[in-house]
A and B are shown apart, each in its own frame.
Chain A
């Protein structure tokens, strides 16, 4: 046995001696930031340690790095040939201070290449370490902060970087978008806080997609981004060309205030933008594992695949975890997609679509807007000039149409990237708003944010008001023109107006363009799919007014009122939002072909394009324009007598109701002043009773030609023959020659007969006839009534009484016994 062992030992030693030194550091095409380094060797604990002294360094002007190779090295060879990122421990000393900033342990596990990152988890700016069998090892934590695994077993091969990676993060590293919500909850404690899987299915040296699972130790109640998926559909992801030693090792931002003169090629820290954080920027890419060398911390793990930094990418940020077994229902930003419909291939998108999606029963949805719900932003840049020009905001309740399967078990509900634009523009949506940018430039990486406030948690959508305009049309966004349809249920359609030559939304009810701090245009509709009223406001005061309806134009300003024949059609043409290359091109051509009318803000220019006015009323005023069955009507106040046109001949100064019929033309008659009448009030619903609010209602009729707005209606109650007191009130708008119902709640606090009246107060106060209402008394709340209400059986009362009696008897009995004459055997302590 001894001889055999000796022979085997000899063979092993011989094999070791004969084997060449095998440093394993396959170099990818690019620069490893080690150009300023000088290599030297020392022998320590029986190991040949390579020391790199670098000026400029990999992180500062002067750094050091130490390589403790586990495989044989040749200290006599060129140190560059001895670099080992396959099976070696690297200790980095940024600043050459003699303190460790980072330890990376490259090794293999079950055939996979692994890199374990140890950093300063104590927060003192230094990684404390010791030696284990001659190799440096963190004494701050036995758990690596970051562990990168390449299951294929190699990092770089033939100049190609391996982007099939599995990364786990354990500690406060900024490893996913939205980390701010929970970063203070995570610790380096052996529990995985993030898992990142990067995929390069073709092995092309470019990552195609990645999925991040955030699993911090927080409750399910926390609305955090749990799964983040980024996909490059064009397979053209940019990859870093400069790194530190290893293709994924980088530097954290921000950029230094002033960079010293550095030799070319510059080390990574000398390249602006290298510390990009989490989100990749347009047309640049740097190593994602970013080290804060000054503080000895792994600072961030940025995107391998850009979320919003490439024009053929899309991402999903789901609050629910998906991509793990049994979890396929995604929500929140699902998907968020970017397109280069112009084919410019300059790294920028010209269409961005984002769906904020919640499914049925989604716990993270607003309790006022249960799922399924979609709030979509659809922004496009028709000239591909990096300026968002138009945007749609769409709201609807539509489930995700498909399961998107990326492979490796990552499948979830979403809209496939290729179908997303058409899914949006070809489907009907409940509400739509359109925003057009009228200022020189607007650009964000996520498209056009501002809309008119439709959808979601807004007062109209949650039923707090019946006014669709409530909460919309924020005037703070100067240079943005916005209009909306509050309830459409149609596909989104656009048109170019024959009146102002601007792109508008079909079906718009209201719109606004805040031209500057004081000037604004307001748009409105008298009904129908096209805008028909324009107002120019200056500091909130109307200075111009234009109405286009039934082929007629009414223009009013301080000088008076003019009437002319308007366009035969309200639109020059209809157009659909672009959803592919041809439609983007068609949109651009169509819009470019329209001649602008001045700067688009002067309503007189709009009016004048249609020729001479057929009627001019100097000093006149027009208001209360409304559609009628076969035309329209308005109130016209004449300041002076007029004899033309024929329908206005011989009209003296005064107020007239002017009506227009498509068949008979204009007609004018003296306007009847507004006049209200109130019917006797009624109550609705259950029989009124005390402390049960009673719903009172009254019919309010306007018998005049002038509409009334904000009319207060009071309800008074009184005992028979007694003076009344106001108990409820409401406010109503009463159009001319129409009746409306006014309702209010009366919390009756006393039973009996009450006489109710409705009153419209004011100088011409109107009161209704009285209605007598009988209020039933509130239910009794004495003990017997409550026992009956409880539904207790007859014997229960007796049982309750008996048990209470027994309790009292026992208490009394104990008292009597306790205070009896003391017995000698009463126990002493």
Chain B
């Protein structure tokens, strides 16, 4: 036995270290681009959920404040907060984005199992971390970083169990851990967990069909079938138990599926102007979010390249296997190919659900990161098989750098290019606290054109007052207007509410709070 690690292991360590550093810098940039003062709706809701879990000491808070799709993220965060004493805001805003870099440590081994190549794993992981839609969901304070860890871990365990099917104790360990991570996925978000189970079921069916299509596919198809046969059943039972007994609120989301079909049929079969049958346009708000539509397309360049590239490579890969050209598929690549197809199918179904206006109308955004997780290694396989000339190599590397820049700019909603600002000022927090301290409970106030300060109110637990986005809402007399809001008004070309000449009840230089004068004796 020679001393020291093998060159292969050296290469792997080097690759992981570099990609991990990359992810760490991305996380640090996300955190410190706004000095840690960023907020968005899901982060705020999760803060509220964690707070309720700590306060009520149960995963099912009687106050009704809970994440209806799963408890795992709140439970993990509650554990960390209880164990370390760190503030919830600090955890979500400063620590978690950095922690997200550890996804590299899970993603890289999974992709190596899928692709069979350390180099392809490195490229796939890099692609994953320059993809803005994926970056956004794992960097913000939502459940997705935990969800992605469970998803990747379960895939890794599944692949390892394939490999060690002949070593019973090891196989049993992998299988046990696999179901544990599947449960973790479901407990984090039962919708995604169930989607994952469906994806595995789709892969099983695809594999079953493939055994009849070509002799080259028969061996992998049989292996996949053997291992996957019981997975959808057992995982489905887990999902059922979770939704029905362990965490009933999550069953309500899945309960919407029949109404998706109902709404779609009404959408397709009626000409009624009834709002309930009006097509929901999930894309309408996208273009308003960016300073220019061209900027939006530029920032999305990597996404489009990934979509087109992965689709082309997936088709080519499949056709080659069918034709018996080149190497036969390995078990990893075969499963990757199947899961890519399954996630693409789910993406298509998400578009349908969004058109029906169900499940928040943003399912395609939510399912896209899962597709990205499958598309990245497909593209990486193609890229590592590519042998560019030196000049092209430099250009391609430069393109990767540009994609990294565009990805981080889009993922952070950088105010230079985005109209959907997510940062805030300390003085805005103070003003919100003032409102909480001095306004009567239940009264309305206006603060900003979108959810920014509404989310901030929840994140920092500033008040129990009711914010509204409608500056003309009945009963609304209080308006919080900051320099940031004035700048946003200028950026959006929208006037701030008409408060000049009204009572300025708070002013710290950056933020003013106005209260409209009483029009009747009853407005006290």
Residues on A facing B (Cβ under 8 Å): 219-221, 360-363, 365, 367-368, 370, 430, 460-466, 468, 487, 683-686, 688, 690-695, 745, 747, 749, 778-783, 785-786, 789-792, 796, 799-800, 803-804, 806-816, 818-820, 822, 825-829
How does the 8 Å CB contact mask read for B490-515 relative to A, with 1 for contact and 0 for none?
11011111111110000000000000
A684 to B504, CA, bound (A): 13
| Chain B neighbourhood of A785, CB < 8 A | 487
Provide the residues of chain B in CB contact with A360, threshold 8 Å. Answer: 440-441
**Interface flags, B33-76, vs A, CB<8A=1, else 0:** 11101000000000000000000000000111000000000000
Tell me whether A808 and B415 are in contact in the complex, defined as CB-CB below 8 angstroms, given that A463-B519, A814-B122 are known contacts.
no
Contacting B500 at CB < 8 Å: which of A686, A828, A829?
A686
The docked-state distance in angstroms from the alpha carbon of A688 to that of B498 is 11
- In the complex, whether B423 has a CB less than 8 A from a CB of chain A is yes
- Mask of B2-24 contacts with A, CB within 8 angstroms, 1/0: 00000110011000001101100
Q: Chain B contacts of A813 at CB under 8 A?
A: 18, 397
Shortest CB–CB separation between residue A31 and chain B, in angstroms?
47
Minimal Cβ-Cβ distance residue in A for B120: A818
Contact B495 A814 (CB under 8 A): no
- Is there an interface contact between B483 and A779, defined as CB atoms closer than 8 Å? yes
In the bound assembly, the distance between CA atoms of A745 and B500 in angstroms comes to 9
* Min distance, Cβ B142 to any Cβ of chain A, angstroms: 23
In the complex, what's the smallest C-beta–C-beta distance from A647 to chain B, in angstroms?
A: 40
Within 8 Å by CB of B397, from A370, A691, A819, lies A819
Give 24 CB contacts A-B under 8 Å: A363-B442, A367-B466, A370-B440, A370-B443, A460-B522, A463-B520, A691-B489, A747-B495, A778-B486, A779-B486, A781-B415, A783-B415, A786-B416, A796-B35, A800-B32, A807-B22, A807-B405, A809-B401, A810-B21, A811-B401, A816-B397, A825-B11, A828-B116, A829-B330
**B390 to A, closest residue via Cβ:** A819
Interface set of B (CB-CB < 8 Å, partner A): 7-8, 11-12, 18-19, 21-22, 25-26, 28-29, 32-35, 37, 62-64, 112, 115-119, 122-123, 126, 130, 330, 332-333, 383-384, 386-388, 393-394, 396-405, 408, 415-416, 423, 425-426, 440-444, 466, 474-475, 477, 483-484, 486-491, 493-502, 516, 518-523
Q: How far is the CB of A366 from chain B (nearest CB, A)?
A: 8
**Whole-angstrom CA separation of A732 from B35 in the bound complex:** 51
Q: Is the CB of A462 within 8 A of B475?
A: yes
Partner of B521, one of A368, A487, A780: A487
* Contact A691:B494 (CB < 8 A) given known A461-B522, A809-B401: yes
Assess the A463–B486 pair: CB atoms within 8 A: no
Inside 8 A of B12's CB, which chain A residues have their CB?
827
- In the complex the two chains form, is B404's CB within 8 Å of A811's CB? yes
**How many angstroms between the C-alpha atoms of A368 and B491 in the bound complex?**
32
If A692-B486, A693-B500, A827-B117 are given as contacts, then 8 extra A-B residue pairs at C-beta distance below 8 Å, sorted by A number, are A360-B441, A463-B475, A463-B519, A464-B474, A465-B519, A791-B426, A811-B401, A813-B18
Point out the residues of chain A lying under 8 angstroms from B32, CB to CB: 796, 799-800, 803
User: In the assembled complex, how far is the CB of residue A430 from the closest CB belonging to chain B, in whole angstroms?
Assistant: 7
Q: Judging by beta carbons under 8 Å apart, are A815 and B116 in contact?
A: no
Q: Does the CB pair A370–B29 fall under 8 Å?
A: no
- What A residues does B496 contact at CB under 8 A? 691-693
Query: Considering the chains assembled together, what is the distance between the CA atoms of A107 and B297 in angstroms?
Result: 77
A792 vs B36: C-alpha distance when bound (angstroms): 11
Closest to B409 in A: A804
User: A430 and B521 in contact (CB under 8 A), knowing A370-B440, A694-B500, A808-B401?
Assistant: yes
Q: Is the CB of B33 within 8 A of A800?
A: yes
Q: CB distance A691 to B443 under 8 Å?
A: no
10 A-B pairs with least C-beta separation: A829-B116, A815-B397, A685-B501, A685-B500, A368-B475, A693-B498, A684-B501, A778-B490, A808-B401, A811-B404
Partner of B502, one of A461, A685, A811, A818: A685
Complex Cα–Cα for A815 and B127 (A):
11
Q: Which of B7, B63, B501 has the most CB of A within 10 A?
A: B501
Q: For residue B118, which residues in chain A have a CB less than 8 angstroms away from its CB?
A: 826-827
Complex CA–CA separation, A782 to B489 (angstroms)? 13
Bound Cα distance from A361 to B386, whole angstroms: 67
A743 closest partner in B (C-beta): B501
Q: Determine the chain B residues whose CB is within 8 A of the CB of A465 once the complex forms.
A: 519
Q: How far is the CB of B414 from chain A (nearest CB, A)?
A: 8
- The answer to whether A811 touches B126, judged by C-beta atoms less than 8 angstroms apart, is yes
In the bound complex, residues from chain A placing their C-beta under 8 Å from that of B126 are 811, 814
Q: From A820, which residue of chain B is reached at the shortest CB distance?
A: B393
Given contacts A684-B501, A826-B117, contact A807 B490 (CB under 8 A): no
Q: A684-B501, A745-B498, A747-B498 are in contact. Are A370 and B441 (CB under 8 A)?
A: yes
Set of chain B residues within 8 Å of A686, measured between Cβ atoms? 500-501
In angstroms, Cα B489 to Cα A749, docked, is: 11
CA distance A822 to B388 in the complex (A): 11
How far does the alpha carbon of A219 sit from the alpha carbon of B61 in the complex, in Å? Answer: 10
The answer on a CB contact under 8 Å between B388 and A786 is no
* B425 proximity list for chain A (CB < 8 A): 789-791
Nearest residue in A to B14 (C-beta to C-beta)?
Answer: A817
Distance between A173 CB and nearest chain B CB, rounded to angstroms: 23
Min CB gap B10→A, angstroms: 10
Question: Which residues of B are found within 8 Å of A221, using beta-carbon distances?
Answer: 64
A463 touches B7 (CB 8 A): no
A residues near B401, Cβ cutoff 8 Å: 807-809, 811-812, 815
User: Which residues of B sit under 8 angstroms from A367, Cβ to Cβ?
Assistant: 442-444, 466, 475
CB distance from A461 to the nearest CB of B (A): 5
A711 CB, nearest partner CB in chain B, Å: 20
Q: Is the CB of B22 within 8 A of A814?
A: yes
A818 touches B442 (CB 8 A): no
Of A367, A693, A779, A809, most B-chain CB atoms within 10 Å? A367
Nearest-neighbour CB distance to chain A for B297, whole angstroms, equals 20
Instruction: Give A360 to B400 CA distance when docked, in angstroms.
Output: 60
Q: How far is the CA of A812 from the CA of B496 in the complex (A)?
A: 44
With CB as the reference atom, state the residue of chain A lying closest to B32. Answer: A799
- Given known A792-B35, A825-B11, contact A815–B400 (CB-CB < 8 A): yes
Q: Are B18 and A466 in contact (CB under 8 A)?
A: no
For B500, the closest partner residue in chain A by CB is A685
Query: How distant is A717 from chain B, measured CB to nearest CB, in Å?
Result: 15
Q: Whose C-beta in chain A lies nearest to the C-beta of B114?
A: A829
Beta-carbon contact of B119 and A826 below 8 Å: yes
Contacts of A688 in B (CB 8 A): 500
B263 to chain A, nearest CB (A): 22
In the complex the two chains form, what is the Cα distance from A816 to B395 in whole Å? 9
Minimal beta-carbon separation of A70 from chain B (angstroms): 37
A365 and B442 CA atoms in complex are apart in Å by: 9
Nearest-CB residue, chain A, relative to B123: A818
A433 to chain B, nearest CB (A): 15
Give Cα A683 to B501, complex, Å: 9
Question: How far is A783 from B122 in the complex, measured between Cα atoms in Å?
Answer: 34
Smallest CB separation, A450 vs chain B (Å):
21
Question: For the complex, what is the distance from the CA of A462 to the CA of B493, rounded to whole Å?
Answer: 30
> A818 contacts B384, CB within 8 Å?
yes
Cα A52 to Cα B130 in complex, Å, equals 82
Question: Which residues of chain B have C-beta atoms less than 8 A from A811's C-beta?
Answer: 22, 126, 130, 397, 400-401, 403-404
Note all chain B residues with C-beta closer than 8 A to A791. 425-426
The answer to whether B489 touches A807 (Cβ under 8 A) is: no
**What residues of A have a CB within 8 angstroms of the CB of B115 in the complex?**
829
Please indicate the chain B residues that have their CB under 8 angstroms from the CB of A825 in the complex. 7-8, 11
Our pick among B112, B489, B490, B499 for the contact of A780 (Cβ within 8 Å) is B490
- The chain B residue sitting closest to A222, CB to CB, is B64
Known: A688-B500, A814-B126. A781 touches B487 (CB 8 A): yes
For A820, the chain B residues whose CB sits under 8 A away are 393
Q: A220-B63, A804-B29, A811-B404 are in contact. Are A819 and B19 (CB under 8 A)?
A: no
Distance between B112 CB and nearest chain A CB, rounded to angstroms: 8
